[in-house]
């Protein structure tokens, strides 16, 4: 983990050094930093909204957890959110397990949440499409992921049979993983009803819209002239580009997608680079910090 994060820090330092050669980057950097408190405050609101969705989903599935203790367990997953597909967030299995929530239920909630968020973020990104290639590839990948999840939901026996096959061949860890994944996918069916779906989608739209508007606010503060809808859809599309890349945290492709879109609107490279670095500091890297703090308190208070 430390090596991975160290590599990511090197990438960001490289971006900053590159930005130093661009007129205007460090001129506006102090102004951008003054916006970080507002941006992280908005990020905290989105984190709590997303946790409330988890809290309600667990309640609907028959798992009652203390509101604030569950909040800490939910935040713990963000410590490993900078992983391909955010699968590192499944560290929540350990901490929700202390609250008597089964591992398969946490996997179900994770898959359900990620699937709906892909749909929501794709819809927000479609408000103003700048780069049709990036958008088209994002639509294709989201469609493939949702189709695969849908197939397994309809035919859970296929994944169970595959797990049994690997178990018979002696690949015990892979077999257990596949069987656990099959149980997790099957568990999503409890929420495939109008009320849980509508409520979860509404919370997702509210949460990711706040994130998109935070980016709009940052661009306005930096005096970067971008049409409102173009600015609103830029960060969601960049997030999809990062997800499609399957790189840890989408580091690199996400920032590049932000820069490409802003430059398409005539924003100078230095300004686009600055906006991409600051918004990522206030979202994914702030969430990682929150997750590490949550794990610290989990281990300190409840081990």
pLDDT tens profile 72-85: 999 999 998 877 76
Position 2 scores a pLDDT of 47
Counting residues of the chain whose pLDDT is more than 90, the rounded percentage is 38
Q: Which of 217, 234, 231, 208 is nearest to 131 (CA)?
A: 234
The whole-number average pLDDT for the span 216-226 is 90
Query: From its phi and psi, is residue 63 left (phi > 0), alpha (psi between -120 and 50) or beta?
Result: beta
Position 222 scores a pLDDT of 87
Position 136 scores a pLDDT of 83
- Would you list the domain boundaries of the chain? 35-302
The whole-model pTM stands at 0.87
Position 21 scores a pLDDT of 52
Position 10 scores a pLDDT of 56
Position 31 scores a pLDDT of 75
Alpha helices in the chain (DSSP H): 2-20, 25-34, 36-60, 67-76, 92-97, 103-125, 132-154, 156-168, 172-187, 194-221, 228-245, 253-264, 269-282, 284-302
Show the tokens assigned to 244: 């499609």
d(CA 51, CA 71): 7
125-173 pLDDT, tens digit per residue, is 998 887 777 788 888 888 888 888 888 777 777 777 887 877 777 777 7
Rg of the chain over Cα atoms, rounded to whole angstroms, equals 20
d(CA 185, CA 106): 10
Residue tagged 């606010």 (tokens):
217
Q: Indicate whether 233 pLDDT > 90.
A: yes
- Of 37-41, 116-120, 174-178, 298-302, where does mean pLDDT reach its minimum? 174-178
The whole-number average pLDDT for the span 267-289 is 88
How does residue 11 score in pLDDT terms, banded at 50, 70 and 90? low
Position 7 scores a pLDDT of 55
Query: From its phi and psi, is residue 85 left (phi > 0), alpha (psi between -120 and 50) or beta?
Result: left
């Amino acid at each position: 983990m430390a090596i991975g994060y160290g590599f990511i820090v090197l990438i960001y330092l490289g971006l900053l050094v590159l930005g130093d050669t661009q007129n205007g980057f460090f001129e506006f950097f102090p102004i951008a930093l003054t916006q970080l408190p507002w941006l992280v405050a908005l990020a905290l609101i989105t984190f709590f909204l997303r946790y409330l969705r988890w809290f309600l989903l667990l309640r609907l599935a028959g798992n009652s957890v203390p509101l604030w203790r569950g909040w800490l367990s939910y935040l713990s997953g963000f410590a490993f959110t900078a992983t391909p597909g955010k699968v590192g967030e499944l560290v929540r299995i350990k901490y929700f397990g202390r609250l008597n929530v089964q591992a398969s239920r946490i996997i179900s909630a994770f898959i359900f949440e990620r699937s709906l968020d892909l749909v929501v973020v794709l819809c927000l990104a479609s408000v103003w499409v700048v780069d049709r290639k990036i958008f088209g590839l994002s639509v294709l990948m989201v469609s493939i992921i949702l189709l695969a999840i849908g197939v397994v939901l309809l035919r859970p026996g296929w994944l169970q049979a595959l797990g049994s096959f690997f178990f018979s061949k002696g690949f015990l860890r892979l077999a257990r993983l596949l069987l656990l994944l099959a149980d997790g996918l099957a568990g999503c069916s409890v929420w495939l009803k109008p009320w849980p779906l509508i409520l979860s989608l509404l919370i997702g739209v509210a949460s990711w819209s706040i994130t998109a508007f935070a980016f709009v606010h940052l661009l306005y503060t930096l005096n970067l002239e971008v049409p409102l809808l173009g600015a609103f859809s830029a960060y969601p599309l960049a997030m999809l580009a990062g997800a499609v890349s399957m790189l840890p945290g989408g580091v690199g492709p996400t920032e590049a997608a932000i820069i490409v879109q802003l430059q398409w609107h005539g924003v100078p490279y230095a300004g686009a680079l600055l906006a991409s670095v600051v918004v990522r500091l206030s979202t994914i890297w702030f969430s990682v910090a929150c997750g590490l703090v949550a794990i610290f308190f989990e281990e300190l208070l409840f081990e």
